[in-house]
A and B are shown apart, each in its own frame.
Chain A
Amino acid sequence: MLKKIINDWRNNKDLLYHLTVSELKSNTARTYLGTLWWIVDPILYMAIYYFLVGVILDRGGDDYAVYLFTGLIPLKWATACMVDATTAISSKARILQQVYVPKLTFILVRLGVNTFKFLVSSIIMILFLYFSGVELTVNALNFFILIVFNLLLLLPIMIIMAHIGVYMKDIKNMMQYISRTLLYLSPVLFRMEDVPERLRELLYLNPFTNFLVSYRNIFLYKGQPLWDNLFIILAISLVLLFIGLRILNKYDKQYAKVI
């Protein structure tokens, strides 16, 4: 299986790059703002939530804007990946009926597109932090390691979602609700300190909680990521990745029959 994956990678890296770029281009084609949408999108997204909690409810405290932004951006990356993954294979019926393409390619394309948008948003986020007077320390460089850990968690989830999406179209609708629920089960809008003690532990069972707390530690509080928890998540991610790749490999020649 490993040999096939390495072989596929070598044969398909040009295709992967072209598919990702073309998907990014197609998304913004024929819009007036064009690629500016990559910048406008996260700003509008964050403005809505800030308006709701910071202005209308008048909650959150002084640094609420930076707190909100550092949570919303990484979580949006994760939920967008998971929702997009549900149609990664099933929407490619036309291609899959005519040419053989390793299915992982389509999942990596969706991951690539969303990660690119996330990186653009991150640059805006960091600029925003800088202009809000947040002092960034060398700890902020852990951001790059965090991204890798986060990617390794998202990929296996996406593989499994894409697989289910072929056989059960309902998963897309379900995923939209799950991702909304995740927004409220992760410390995005609220702070961990405000959560009752006995619930706090439970929230840490959500892997994204650990990531969000870590992102904030390095950007806002000059601290370190939650290394212990993140390594546990990494171990689970790698097991899931192995399982996911096994599934893709097993069903590789089945998808074209049922799509």
Chain B
Amino acid sequence: MKKDIIELNNIWVSYPEHSDNPIKQLISKDKKQFWALKGLDFTVKKGEVLGIIGRNGSGKSTLLKLMSGLIEPDKGDYHVEGKRPMLLSLGAGFQPELSGIENIYLNALLLGNRKKKIDDNLESIIEFSELDDFIYKPVRTYSSGMKARLAFSTAIMLDPEILLIDEVLGVGDSAFQKKCKDAILEKIQQDRTVILVTHSSGLVKQICDRVVWIHRGEQKAVGDTKEIVEQYDEFMKAKRK
């Protein structure tokens, strides 16, 4: 029996309701809230590949924010064994005027790595990104595909304990997409914990052991990939009609 690495116990998360009149919002007593997550309750086991599926607006992004420690639940507890997972983010902290190398440092530091570790991994990051001489040029001269490659390379080469992946595989051309997928598959082989968050069931079917389906902030179903994905696909098909 594998041990639980992440635990969500009856998690509720709300946002303050946006109002067009900020003054009114400031003084009014009854603060309106929008509940983005309503009572999520599941665990992630060490070394498993968990898929989280749901339509747009189902609360996936909020769940990601919660799991990477950006926000706290209003109710319920969230517990992580060891270092909290980091989103394989697509270059959130890129500074366009700085060179690729400088941005590797900046982004990797933002992801919570030590400088020493980045020094050690710099070469493999550059190699994986296939940016060659562009790595010395300012990031503003990069195409969007190149930026995504740099970001993905930085994140994956620093070998995070838990991979939190947010539909990241849409980056670069198809050759690079395959390389990303292979890199993730390799992590899975090494018994890394992977959490894949997406609205499409394609990749989930291929790599996930278990799936959590959320719908309008509620946990609709948890369980075996095959079973849940079938239900989800059917549900989506019914919606389209």
Residues of A that sit less than 8 Å from B by CB: 11, 14-15, 18-19, 22-23, 25-26, 29-30, 94-101, 168, 253-254, 256-258
Contact = CB atoms under 8 A, between A and B. Distances in A.
Contacts, number: 71
A14 B115 contact: yes
A18 B68 contact: no
Nearest to A11: B112
Main secondary structure of the interface of B (DSSP, over half): loop
A101 B97 CA distance: 22
Contact of A14 (B65, B68, B71, B114): B114
A27 to B, nearest CB: 9
B84 interface: yes
Contacts of B106: 18-19, 22
A97 B110 contact: no
Contact of A256 (B22, B70, B84): B70
Nearest to B62: A257
Contact of B97 (A15, A29, A98): A29
In order of increasing CB-CB distance, the 7 nearest A-B pairs are A29-B97, A98-B89, A98-B92, A15-B109, A256-B70, A253-B72, A26-B97
B95 interface: yes
A99 B71 contact: no
A94 B115 CA distance: 22
Interface residues of B, number: 29
A253 B70 contact: yes
Interface in B37-68: 65, 68
24 contacts: A11-B112, A14-B114, A15-B109, A18-B105, A23-B95, A25-B97, A25-B98, A26-B95, A26-B96, A29-B98, A94-B92, A94-B93, A95-B92, A95-B93, A97-B65, A98-B70, A98-B92, A99-B111, A100-B68, A101-B110, A253-B69, A256-B65, A257-B71, A258-B15
A25 B98 CA distance: 8
A256 B71 contact: yes
A15 B110 contact: yes
B70 to A, nearest CB: 4
B82 interface: no
A82 to B, nearest CB: 22
B69 to A, nearest CB: 5
A99 B111 CA distance: 7
Given A100-B84, A100-B112, 13 more contacts: A11-B112, A14-B109, A29-B98, A95-B110, A99-B70, A99-B92, A99-B93, A100-B68, A100-B69, A101-B110, A253-B69, A257-B71, A258-B15
Given A14-B109, A99-B68, A99-B87, A29 B92 contact: no
A254 B15 CA distance: 9
Interface in B82-128: 84, 86-87, 89, 92-93, 95-98, 102, 105-106, 109-112, 114-115
Given A11-B112, A22-B95, A99 B89 contact: yes
Given A25-B98, A168-B22, A253-B70, A97 B109 contact: no
